[in-house]
Amino acid sequence: MTDWAVSMGDESHLNDARSLWERARLATRARSIEVYVKHARRWGLRRVPDGASLHEHEAVEVGTACRWTIESARAAVHVAMIGTDLGRLQHVIENASAAPRTDTASLAIEADPPEQRTDHEPSDTRFDPDGVRAWMSGAPRVSSVELGLTTEVLVGPGGWRTLRTRARSSALIGSHGQLVAQRGFDVVQLSGEVDESAEFGDPSAPLHLAPLAAAPLVMTLVHAAHSFQPWVGEAAGRGWEIRDDPASTEGLAGGTFDDAGFPTALRTLAAGGRVVAGLDGPGTYWRRSYRDAPVPLPSTIVVGTADAAPARPRVVNACRVLPLDRENWVLELPGGRSRFVRTGPAELLRSVGGTFGSPVATADGVVTPGLVLEGFFPR
């Protein structure tokens, strides 16, 4: 039995991050300094081409990021490095003249949080490698599976500390390599069949997207309509009921505080057929990687409750979204030959006429039932 909760060593990580923060404070002599350290441990199995055996792999990734304010520029400098070596951090800081600058609003300078806050993974962080191997041996449609545990430590201005752990598992299933993912290590829940064979029918009829097909469309629309320059007040279909819920236990990301240390809260982004809010400000700052400074991003997007299940035609189980530019998108839908449909974000947003079925947590960071696209007339 592998118990990563023990092996990760929270207190050791907190102390290491605090030492890095102290070194950064001396090296920068800045008024406000932030250090972010991420430890990621992954274990997985991959089915070899003969299909009869499984290859095991394990990896550990550790990275450090540091930001500090430059008073004359009214900006924050961001640098990152592999590992947690104190001398290496000082070298990176001293050679940061061309480092990217970020808005100081995302640095919690004025915050007065408790000295230490934690957000631990609620699910079990133990798993049995032999049990996972036995499960995958009996699931021939699963080509790979990976389990991972991350520990993130943030030391903010003033020396306050946050620590968050997250356990996740993912798998590639089916001939098309559909990615499925979830919180925790209960890999048996990842073994559902994925059918991408349903045909795209009459374009004038409502298009029914199953949750795994709806999720990438939802996330791409959230970035278009609710991020950067949100379309507040713009019309949306009555099925576009959208919330950003960092506290969702089904979400792959999020938590009680964001990656800059600000407390998070549930945000309603769309309701009543309108875009009502965007993603910005404290509580929305997330990092795609330790190499990136935190920026406003969605955490866990939750699509509103499903309508009563209608009588419907065959459901489309796969959809890929290809944004060509801000106003021209292409949807790739399945069929004997893949069907490419020209459309745009505004018309897609208005076409979400309803939902159906039970919500599903997806690898896209979206918890959604199926979507019904009405009046969907491709260009």
- d(CA 69, CA 76) in angstroms, rounded, equals 4
Decide if pLDDT at 192 tops 70. no
Q: Are strands 142-155 and 33-47 parallel, antiparallel or unpaired?
A: antiparallel
Q: Given this model, what pLDDT does residue 275 score?
A: 95
CATH 3.30.2290 domain extents, the chain: 2-190
Q: Find, among 207, 225, 173, the residue nearest to 362 by Cα.
A: 173
pLDDT band at 193 (very low <50, low <70, confident <90, very high): low
Distances in whole angstroms, Cα of residue 333 to Cα of each of 207, 282, 354: 11, 37, 19
Element (H, E) at 146: strand 142-155
pLDDT at 203: 61
- Band the pLDDT of 201: cuts 50, 70, 90: low
Q: What is the pTM of this model?
A: 0.90
- Determine the average pLDDT of the residues in 67-80: 82
CATH no. of 2-190: 3.30.2290
Which of the four pLDDT bands, split at 50, 70 and 90, describes residue 376? Answer: low
141: confidence class by pLDDT, cuts 50, 70, 90: confident
Q: For 201-225, give the DSSP string.
A: --TTSPEEE-HHHHHHHHHHHHHHH
Question: Residues 6 or more apart from 244 whose CB is under 8 A from it?
Answer: 226, 266, 267, 269, 279, 284, 298, 299, 300, 301, 302
Q: What pLDDT does residue 109 have?
A: 74
Q: Name the 3-class secondary structure at 15.
A: helix
Q: What is the pLDDT of residue 306?
A: 61
Give the integer Cα–Cα distance in Å for 90 and 93.
5
Residue 261 DSSP code:
S
Share above pLDDT 70 across residues of the chain, in percent, rounded to a whole number: 87
Contact 335, 355 (CB under 8 A): no
Question: Given pLDDT bands bounded at 50, 70 and 90, which one contains residue 368?
Answer: very high
Average pLDDT in the chain: 87
Average pLDDT over residues 229-248: 93
- Tell me the pLDDT tens digit for each residue of 91-128: 999 988 666 677 778 888 765 667 889 999 887 788 89
Stretch 6-26: mean pLDDT: 87
